[in-house]
Structure 1
Amino acid sequence: MAETDTSTQLELVDRDFHDDPHKYYDRWRAGGPVHHVKLTHPHGVPCWVVIGYAEARAALTDPRLRKDALGAAELFQRNGNHSLLLSDMQSLNYHMLNTDPPDHTRLRKFVNKSFTARRVAALRPRIEEITAQLLDGMAGNDEADLLRDFATPLPVTVICELLGVPYGDREDFQGWTKILVGAVGGPEDRRRTSTEMAGYLRKLLADKRIHPGDDLLSGLANESDAGDRLTDGELVAMAFLLLVAGHETTVNLIGNGTYALLRDRRQFDALRADPDAIPTAIEEFLRISGPVGWATLRYTAEPVTLGDTTIPEGELVYIALTAADHDPDRYSSPGELDITRNIAGHMAFGHGIHFCVGAPLARLEATIAFTALLDRFPKLAVAPDFTPSWQPSLLIRGMTELPVRPHG
């Protein structure tokens, strides 16, 4: 098959994309599952976006679509964007999500040994305790911001305790996270923030090598596998990934899911009446409004055909997980919430070797959060006249606030 003529299919993706990405996806879908676009924000570099479910699933496991951070940075440089070549940005980016086998296999092995199912399950009592405390705080108010008062502090507290990061530093790393995932700020902010966060993590990890505690980062800093240890640079990048992914995605799973549920009182009441159905409902929340919009960057090491489109070698590729999970060829009436839906195979946590290592923790936190929230506040409602404002990030899909009335 001949390669697609890239000069005739370039579409612009503007800032309004974040308000309603499905407006774009629905228009594109009529023209096929793969599209050549130019992002006016944040970097203005042409790329390919995969929106079809079958094509996305295939792309996520295709070894010709590389994840290597240095290779991607070189492609950005070739297109006139030099920001990703900065040393501190590179040091944060070179984690297992941005590597290919065999490097990815080696890095993930260290995390899998520390981030076990047993360790996650043991967190349940503490997560329940934190949840109850936060809901107690909301109960005394006629109105609260669910993101600020509940959805954010819950996973932030959990990930701080799990990793061994001082909770008192949360405002710093949360602020850094918003900038580095593209939700706020510009290139200069990202350069400054990369330097600050890399320096913070280097100092934290150096201390854990000297004074280890009973936490995950201490384990990673001091663990060896057949004589192999993570280097200082690998540790910094790993800590960055676990800290950011360990709270930001869960914040927006809880926020997006609550908002979707509060817009359908019938399903809200049905779920309250049957709390055993909450785990299944959470999978539908993940499908209909997942916390990750586009999977992290890939690029073609050789021509790759997806559907009827052949993407040439040396092209940047994004897989729109939220678009794939709204593909009508996979899910009927994909824009409608259905907490009883069979959502097997949704891709909110990715697919293949890069499937989210923190998915079990996110599911546990969300199950505890929704169970307690619905039980505690049977009349929970969105504040009148609320219109969501979405973070301007391609990676993270989440609102900036969610004002609610706990008592209706």
Structure 2
Amino acid sequence: MSSPLQDPEFLRNPYPTYAALRSTGPVQKLPSAGGRSGYLVTGYAEAREAFADSRLSKDTKRFFAGQDTGRNLHPAVSQSMLATDPPDHTRLRRLVTSAFTPGAVARLLPYIAAVTDSLLDTWVPGEQVDVIESLAVPLPVTVICQLLGVPEHDRAAVRAWSNDLFAAGQPTLVDAASHEVADYMSGLIAAKRRALDDSLLADLIRVRDGEDRLSEDELVSLAVLLLVAGHETTTNLIGNGLLALLQAPGSLQRLRAEPGLVESAVDELLRYDSPVSTATFRFATETLVIGSTEIPAGAPVFIAPGAANRDPARFPDPDRLDLDRDAKGHLAFGHGIHRCLGAPLARAEAAIALRAVAHRFPHLRLAVPSAELEWQHTRLMRGVQSLPTIP
């Protein structure tokens, strides 16, 4: 039996499927890869609980120990901080937390605004433009590359590798991209060592070479994770958010009239169409119960922020975009110790981008019917491949 999450219609619009599954209960047993049953968490309260449950491990190395997966992912990708539990996760996360605090992000705001304006300067009123290619991709790529110290001439390659890493159903392409980006970061680390600068990557090198709290493998893995995770979800946040506003012109007009509303609107946009549809892999280290469903030890568990954020028990009338809604409790960034480290940066980039677009292009509209938009072919990420508009 195939999983409903593999249905092409689910990739285009997952929310009817999520609603149908959730109507049978907040946790569903689903067929998983290799014939092993997995469990999908679609209820809000249950998802929040599962995100914080230490009995759900993210240590994929432990889960797949002794199994031949047939994959050739570079360890820098397959064994990143995302795939660790405490105490390793605690140690690794602590080393980079300071770069993404609200204060640190506040210092980046002028730079983010300047990059946004330079990108929007290329938009010509009346001429079709792809929001993804011209804004939603280059803005977060430029910012995270600037933060890490990635040279400008390498940034197109970084984006291409990152895109390939999320090529669902193409394991050979994904594996190859993992080696390309890991090899690149290893080379960049070597170059930074020869001439340390004020980048985040240089700071991590100082930690590794000074206090030895990072192994060389951990350093490369952390750099790769920051590079990839530092822009992929933000691209989808900007793309999904602007699409939602274009489909609700009254809401877009409100943002033009009330630019101070943008920060809270970002929370509602994150809730309404979450950039991460189904969170990364977890498994039960012991038998446990979530939402009255018993999950056996060793079973994979998938938490769906996209479903939880439209649970009517938490968000009434969840399929309606409502800029007056208090959506701060959404789970688009996860919850607990694995909550997205870069959430403050992603929110800042989205707020600046959406405010600028609304202000500078009052006649912006979709260039094609929304039904013709192509969505990414992955249950993990939720985002359009392109977003043609007329400024």
Same fold (TM over 0.5): yes
1:37 aligns with one of 26, 30, 48? 30
What is the rounded CA distance, in whole Å, between the counterparts of 2:43 and 2:326 in structure 1?
Answer: 19
1:89 aligns with one of 74, 94, 100? 74
Q: Deviations over 1:212-265 (max 9, x none)?
A: 111001101112699343111101111111111111111111100000001111
2:63 aligns with one of 50, 72, 76? 72
Aligned twin of 2:117: 132
Could you tell me which runs of 5 or more consecutive residues in structure 1 were left unpaired when the two chains were aligned: 1-8
Amino acid at match of 2:5: V
1:18 aligns with one of 11, 14, 24? 11
- Is 1:289 equivalent to 2:280 in the alignment? no
Between stretches 31-40 and 276-285, larger displacement belongs to 31-40
Alignment of 1:68-217 (within 5 A): 68-74=59-65, 77=67, 81-83=69-71, 86=72, 88-139=73-124, 142-183=127-168, 186-217=170-201
Aligned twin of 2:38: 47
Q: Deviations over 1:48-89 (max 9, x none)?
A: 1100000000000101000113023338x3xx7332xx3x43
Alpha carbons 1:10, 1:36 under 8 Å: kept? no
Aligned twin of 2:309: 325
Amino acid at match of 2:192: K
Alpha carbons 1:145, 1:401 under 8 Å: kept? yes
Alpha carbons 1:72, 1:316 under 8 Å: kept? no
Alignment of 1:375-394 (within 5 A): 375-386=359-370, 387-394=372-379
Alpha carbons 2:46, 2:291 under 8 Å: kept? yes
Give the direction of change, closer, same or farther, for the CA distance of 1:380–1:39 in structure 2 (3 Å limit).
farther
What is the rounded CA distance, in whole Å, between the counterparts of 2:187 and 2:209 in structure 1?
Answer: 24
Amino acid at match of 2:152: Y
Q: Deviations over 1:367-396 (max 9, x none)?
A: 111111100001111114342211011221
What is the rounded CA distance, in whole Å, between the counterparts of 1:200 and 1:21 in structure 2?
Answer: 35
What is the rounded CA distance, in whole Å, between the counterparts of 2:176 and 2:228 in structure 1?
Answer: 17
What is the rounded CA distance, in whole Å, between the counterparts of 2:206 and 2:126 in structure 1?
Answer: 45
- Report how far residue 192 of structure 1 moved: 1.8
Amino acid at match of 2:108: L
Alpha carbons 1:18, 1:392 under 8 Å: kept? yes
Aligned twin of 2:47: 56
TM-score normalised according to structure 2 size: 0.94
Alpha carbons 2:28, 2:40 under 8 Å: kept? yes
* SS, match of residue 123 in structure 2: helix
What is the rounded CA distance, in whole Å, between the counterparts of 1:10 and 1:287 in structure 2?
Answer: 28
What is the rounded CA distance, in whole Å, between the counterparts of 1:233 and 1:313 in structure 2?
Answer: 30
Alpha carbons 2:5, 2:379 under 8 Å: kept? no
Number of aligned residues: 389
What is the rounded CA distance, in whole Å, between the counterparts of 1:238 and 1:401 in structure 2?
Answer: 29
- Is 1:252 equivalent to 2:236 in the alignment? yes
* SS, match of residue 223 in structure 1: helix
Alpha carbons 1:13, 1:38 under 8 Å: kept? no
What is the rounded CA distance, in whole Å, between the counterparts of 1:171 and 1:323 in structure 2?
Answer: 33
What is the rounded CA distance, in whole Å, between the counterparts of 1:365 and 1:119 in structure 2?
Answer: 13
Alpha carbons 1:322, 1:348 under 8 Å: kept? yes
Aligned twin of 1:6: none
- Report how far residue 170 of structure 1 moved: 2.2
Alpha carbons 1:151, 1:254 under 8 Å: kept? yes
Give the direction of change, closer, same or farther, for the CA distance of 1:27–1:50 in structure 2 (3 Å limit).
same
Give the direction of change, closer, same or farther, for the CA distance of 1:127–1:112 in structure 2 (3 Å limit).
same
Amino acid at match of 2:40: V
- Is 1:262 equivalent to 2:255 in the alignment? no
TM-score normalised according to structure 1 size: 0.90
Alpha carbons 1:293, 1:397 under 8 Å: kept? yes
- Report how far residue 22 of structure 1 moved: 1.4
- Report how far residue 102 of structure 1 moved: 0.6
Could you tell me which runs of 5 or more consecutive residues in structure 2 were left unpaired when the two chains were aligned: none
Give the direction of change, closer, same or farther, for the CA distance of 1:236–1:29 in structure 2 (3 Å limit).
same
- Report how far residue 39 of structure 1 moved: 5.1
